[in-house]
Amino acid sequence: MITKNSIIYIAGHKGMVGSAIWRSLTAKGYNNLVGATSKELDLRDQIAVRDFLQKTQPDVIIDAAAKVGGILANNDFPYQFLMENMQIQNNLISEAHNLDVDKFIFLGSSCIYPKLAPQPLKEDYLLTASLEKTNEWYAIAKITGVKLCEAIRKQYDKDYVSLMPTNLYGIHDNFDLNSSHVLPAMIRKFHEAKENSNAPVILWGSGTPMREFLFVDDMAEAVVFALENKLPEHLYNVGTGEDLTIKKLASTIQKIVGHTGDIIWDDSKPDGTPRKLMDVSRMHNIGWKHQVNLEEGIQKTYNWFLENIESFKEKSY
């Protein structure tokens, strides 16, 4: 039985998703949250993870920790994306099981689904066809996490559940142009171009792929929902169930930022998956739905970017 006093360990609590979960739980009165920075605890180290969990004795583990990045990072560092993500989740899942932690919430990504799966993506499409080549390393790692949680649930009847978010964005996002995802990268590019006399903005690809985006605070609410309820299935998609073209996304961000220059599409760069829309009916059917629309979420994210812009200026590209 989860109470406001339950010990809840959030792995990756300083990241965009983990910090949103922490904010949400704190706002709801949960007062026994546990976190450790990557300097305090290397989640790739099995012995360190075991010692930490034995010391803290959590009732719940939320795995929001991962090595993440966009197409460029996935292409350049395939070994790290596969190995380090497997190390992180395997250590957490295995030690949670060994310590008899009864509730585990594993966070993955919509990239676990086949590249050309029918749209919208249903949970049942997992492992039915080939993955997108540009991020298959990360996807394979996350698939193993989903299957581990399913196996423990099936074999030991523990409440281990996997939530697969669509593309997330929001407060504490990564705005590093070498490793960020498309939405925060666009915010930064349009802002800097606006500051540079509304210079043209060059964007990768054709702009035709369709993408779905979920504000990170909505993702946090989905995690809290999974925490407070025993969900009947092992795997759930978390998203809005709505998508738009990358071109439409660009024009939306351009308008919110206030950039009035040209947009140039570099179609020599890869597009990635043509469309990636989540079927979120499984979550809707049990009572969860997103609350923040895209324009509102982008505005909140841009406001946070502006408030923290000095920390981004410290890096040069």
> What is the per-residue pLDDT across 238-273, written as a single tens digit (0 to 9) for each?
999 999 999 999 999 999 999 999 999 999 998 877
* 312 band by pLDDT with thresholds 50, 70 and 90: confident
Q: Which residue would you say has higher pLDDT here, 311 or 164?
A: 164
Count of C-beta atoms within a 10 Å radius of residue 300: 17
Q: Catalytic annotation on 138? A: yes
One CATH from 3.50.50.60, 3.40.50.720, 3.40.50.620, 3.40.50.300 for 8-173+212-242+276-292: 3.40.50.720
> What contacts 63, CB < 8 A, 6 or more positions away?
11, 12, 88, 89, 92, 93, 104, 105, 106, 107, 145
More confident call, 109 vs 219: 219
Map residue 147 onto helix, strand or coil.
Answer: helix
Weakest-pLDDT range from 2-11, 67-76, 109-118 = 67-76
Catalytic residue among 138, 160, 169, 236: 138
pLDDT tens digit sequence for 26-64: 999 999 999 999 999 999 999 999 999 999 999 999 999
Whether residue 126 is annotated as binding a ligand: the answer is: no
**Cα–Cα distances in angstroms (integers) from residue 91 to residues 77, 115, 316, in the given order:** 21, 28, 35
What is the pLDDT, as a whole number, of residue 316? 40
Instruction: Judge whether 168 and 174 are in contact, CB under 8 Å.
Output: no
The annotation status of 15 as a binding-site residue, yes or no, is yes
Selection from 12, 143, 148 nearest residue 68 by Cα: 12
Before 274, cis peptide (omega within 30)? Answer: no
Q: How far is CA 218 from CA 121, 125, 180, 290, 298, in A?
A: 19, 24, 20, 6, 13
In the prediction, which pLDDT does 222 show? 98
pLDDT number for residue 70: 67
- Per the prediction, the chain carries an average pLDDT of 94
Residue type, 314: E
Q: How confident is the model at residue 134 (pLDDT cuts 50, 70, 90)?
A: confident
Q: Encoding tokens for residue 270?
A: 């890869």
Of residues 50, 68, 57, the one with CA closest to residue 107 = 68
Q: Kindly report the CA angle at 128 between 127 and 130, in degrees rounded to 5? A: 80
Could you give the CA distance from residue 96 to residue 60 in angstroms, rounded to a whole number? 9
Residue 68 — pLDDT band, cuts 50, 70, 90?
confident
Tell me the two tokens of residue 217: 């605070």
Nearest 5°: phi and psi at 132?
A: -70, 125
Find the angle CA(226)-CA(230)-CA(236) to the nearest 5 degrees: 50
Find out whether 144 is annotated in a ligand binding site.
no
| Mean pLDDT computed over 82-106 | 96
The confidence score (pLDDT) of residue 86 equals 96
At residue 313 the predicted structure's pLDDT band, cuts being 50, 70 and 90, is low
Q: What gap in Å lies between CA 202 and CA 210, rounded to an integer?
A: 19
* Per-residue pLDDT, 42: 97
| Confidence category of residue 317, pLDDT binned at 50, 70, 90 | very low
Q: Which of 143, 149, 138, 265 is closest to 200 using CA atoms?
A: 265
For the residues 286-297, what does the mean pLDDT come to? Answer: 98
pLDDT, tens only, 265-290: 999 998 877 888 999 999 999 999 99
Would you say 114 is a known binding-site residue? no
What is the per-residue pLDDT for 132?
86
Q: pLDDT exceeding 70 applies to what percent of the chain?
A: 97
**Mean pLDDT computed over 157-186:** 92
**Cα angle at 270 between 268 and 274, to 5 degrees?**
125
Is there a binding annotation on residue 204?
Answer: yes
Q: Enter the tokens of residue 20.
A: 């949103």
Is 271 annotated as a binding-site member? yes
